[in-house]
A = this chain, B = another copy of it.
Amino acid sequence: MGSAKTFRHGQNLRLVTSERIANQEELRRRLWTQRLRVTQATLSRDLQELKLVKTPEGYRPASALPEETAPIPPLARALGEFLLDIRPAENLLVLKTPPSGAQPLAAAVDGAKFPEIAGTIAGDDTVLIITPNKRQRESLQQKIESFVGRPLRSRAS
C-alpha cells in the first residue's frame, strides 16, 4: 500500500496549513478522527519529508531553501497528494487542493498532456482546467476520477 503515505502527506499539509497544530501529538489526534492511525514517529518523518518546520504559530513550509526544485510530480502521485475535490462547471473543471497545492497539481496535469485540455490556470488552492466543450470536460473528468481510487470529500469553500 504505497499510496497511503502520499495521501497522508496531503492530509498533513492540509491540516497543518488550515488550522493551528501545536505538536505532532495533536496532529496525530486530528488524523485519528479521519481513520488515519499513525504514530508520532511516522509524523516526525512526514513533517521532515514535507519540509515543514515548527514555529510558535504552528508548522510552516521551510521555504527559501536553495534545494532542488521538485521535478514535476507524476500525475497519479500529485492527485493522491493534493486533490481534494473535483467540481465540473460546463466546459470547465475546477480542482480543489490544500493551500499552495494548486501549482504542483497543475504542473502535473499539464505534464500529462491530456488532449481534452485547452489550458489550465492555477491559483493557490484551485486549479481551473479549460476544455473546448462540455463533452470533452466530461471525458477528462472521468479520466481524472479514475486516477483517484478514493472518494473525494466535497468541501464547501
* Bound CA span A61–B25, Å: 25
Q: Which of B57, B69, B117, B126 interacts with A119 by CB under 8 Å?
A: B126
Indicate whether A74 reaches chain B with its CB closer than 8 angstroms.
no
Chain B residues whose CB sits within 8 angstroms of the CB of A89 once the complex forms? 91, 118, 130-133
Q: Decide if A132 touches B88 in the complex (CB within 8 Å).
A: yes
Chain B residues in 8 Å Cβ range of A57: 65, 68
Is A60 a contact of B65 with CB atoms below 8 Å? yes
Number of copies: 2
Q: Which of A62, A88, A113 has the most CB of B within 10 A?
A: A62
- B56–A66 contact, CB under 8 A? no
Q: Which of B53, B119, B128, B157 touches A55 (beta carbons < 8 Å)? A: B53
Cα distance A133–B122 in the bound complex, in angstroms? 21
Q: Does A115 lie at the interface of the complex (its beta carbon under 8 Å from any beta carbon of B)? A: yes
Question: Taking the complex as formed, is A46 at the interface, i.e. its CB lies under 8 A from any CB of chain B?
Answer: no
Q: Is the CB of B92 within 8 A of A130?
A: yes
Cross-chain contact of A128 among B99, B119, B157 (Cβ < 8 A): B119
Among B51, B115, B133, B156, the residue within 8 A (CB) of A113 is: B156
List of B residues within 8 angstroms of A55 by Cβ: 53, 62, 65
Identify the A interface with B (CB < 8 A).
17, 48, 51, 53-57, 60-66, 68-69, 87-92, 94, 96, 99, 106, 110, 113, 115, 117-124, 126, 128, 130-133, 156-157
